Every structure is written in structure tokens, then in C-alpha cells.
Amino acid sequence: MSDREARVQILLANQHALFRQAVKIVLESEDDLVVVAEAKDGLQAVVEAERTSPDLVLIDANLPNCDGLRATSLIKERVPDCQVLVLTEQEEPGTLIEAIEAGASGYLTKECPLSELIQATRAIHRGESLVPPRMLGPLLHILVRRRREQNDAYHRLAKLTRREREVLALLAEGKTNEAISQSLVISPETARTHIRSVLRKLAVHSRLEAAAFVVQNGVMDDLEEVAP
């Protein structure tokens, strides 16, 4: 194995060439780090990750042509062993959650010292996860709130009959009353009755709200389990 291959191989993804060059110089001043590829947008980051199979991708959250979080998800799907460190302009708990859900192992802001970026790169390569200490409180708050909301969603979902769950799944797909009646082989009036019952049990006021309930709470898989 060559000295280059022995080092942590990094892909830099940022739309600004000057930023990439500056970070590359800093990283490669370390004996154990090397930049093997660069990308100026999200799609290019995915392509370069597949081409080079780096150990780590250092990616900006706000990339053009497929944002950094979506690109992170694609990279983790196509190059599972590659770790991802997401960089943002400022600390945003919502973005942190999205980065974690996309498969990122770390999250830093561009305000951090370069020495911290180097340490984070090494830590993530060792298999550690990295979240700014100041963000742990907001992160836990969001996770607890989401768990409560999901528990409430499952409680409301449990009120639905099997048929009503089938109707809700079709509503989430944007089906019309006629399409629902045809799909379930029921009369249009029966379909309307089921829809009214679904809205009442979910405590929502419209078909759109019912569809949003499914998407926001991630319960589509639960509905599909009862599909014939």
C-alpha cells in the first residue's frame, strides 16, 4: 500500500473553488489526510464518490444541483462505507436532524477553526459521530417532540379500521373519490363515508391534511401493510 492509499481519502464538495482549494491545502498539510476528488455541486459529489470511493466526504449542506443533504443520502446509498461530514453556514437544529437522517456522521459550521475540522475528520474516520456540544440540547428537544408526535400519530391511526387505512393510503397517493371507489371496489357513496370517518378519527379537516398526516409522520409503510 502506497503512502497516499494509507491516508484518509477525502472528497471535498463545495460550490466555491477558492474554499475547496483553501481546505485542501490545510488538510493535505497533515500527513494522514489526502484529497482525492472535488465537486462543485451535489450531483457531481455523488458521481465522484462513486468513482473514487473515498473514506470521507466533506460536503456543504447548501449545494446547487441537488443539495448537500440529498447528496449525502445518495452517497450513503451507493457508497455505504463512506462517511460524511456536513458543513453549514450556521447551527440549525433542523438541518442537523436532516443530516443525521440522511446518514451523515458529523455536522460542523464553517465558523469552526480549521484545527477542529481536521480533528473532526479524523474522529469520523475512526467511526465516531460528531455533533457540536451546544446543539445537543436542541437536538434532544426535537427528537423528544418528534417521538411524542409520532406516538400521537400512531394512537390516532389505531382508531382506523382496516378499510379506513386502505382509504387513507389512497388519499395519501392523491386518489380521487372515484379512483378510491374503483380501487377498493366500493360505491362512491361508501368511499365518501369512509373518507369522512378517516378525517374525523384523525382530527383533520381535509383530504390534504390527511395526506400530510401520513407524510409528516412517516406512516405510509404501516398503511401499506394492510393493503390487499
Q: Is the pLDDT score of 141 beyond 90?
A: no
| Residue 198: inside a domain | yes
Q: Using alpha carbons, select from 92, 194, 175, 104 the residue that is nearest to residue 138.
A: 92
Choice among 13-22, 91-100, 110-119, 132-141 with the minimum mean pLDDT: 132-141
Q: What is the mean pLDDT of residues 171-193?
A: 90
Query: Is 57 within 8 Å of 83 (Cβ atoms)?
Result: yes
| Residue 141: inside a domain | no
| Residue 38: per-residue pLDDT | 97
85 and 29 within one domain:
yes
> Which residue is it, cell 465558523?
111
177 and 121 within one domain:
no
DSSP codes, 120-158: HHHHHHTT--B--GGGHHHHHHHHHHHHHHHHHHHHHHT
111 and 44 within one domain:
yes
State the CB neighbour count (10 A cutoff) for residue 181.
Answer: 20
Q: Give me the residues paired with residue 58 across strands.
A: 12, 85
| Residue 186: inside a domain | yes
94 and 162 within one domain:
no
| Residue 77: per-residue pLDDT | 94
- Last residue of a domain, which of 107, 133, 159? 133
Q: What is the separation, in whole angstroms, between the first and last Cα of the chain?
A: 55
The CATH number for 73's domain is: 3.40.50.2300
169 and 56 within one domain:
no
Number of domains in the chain: 2
123 and 21 within one domain:
yes
Q: Using alpha carbons, select from 53, 48, 45 the residue that is nearest to residue 8.
A: 53
Q: How far apart are CA 35 and CA 38, in angstroms?
A: 8
| Residue 140: inside a domain | no
pLDDT category at 135 given cuts 50, 70, 90 is: low
Q: At what angle do helices 177-184 and 188-202 cross, to 10 degrees?
A: 110
pLDDT category at 8 given cuts 50, 70, 90 is: very high
Q: What is the pLDDT of residues 48-97, one digit of tens each?
A: 999 999 999 999 999 999 999 999 999 999 999 999 999 988 877 778 88
Domain span at 204: 149-224
Chain-centre distance for alpha carbon 63 = 15
| Residue 222: per-residue pLDDT | 67
Choice among 1-15, 63-77, 127-141 with the minimum mean pLDDT: 127-141
- Residue % of the chain over a pLDDT of 70: 89
Query: Is 88 within 8 Å of 62 (Cβ atoms)?
Result: yes
115 and 84 within one domain:
yes
Q: What is the pTM of this model?
A: 0.63
| DSSP assignment letter at 15 | S
109: part of which helix (H) or strand (E)? strand 106-109
Q: Is the dihedral of CA 122, 127, 131, 137 positive or negative?
A: negative
> Which residue is it, cell 466526504?
57
Q: At what angle do helices 162-172 and 207-217 cross, to 10 degrees?
A: 90
Q: Is the pLDDT score of 214 beyond 70?
A: yes
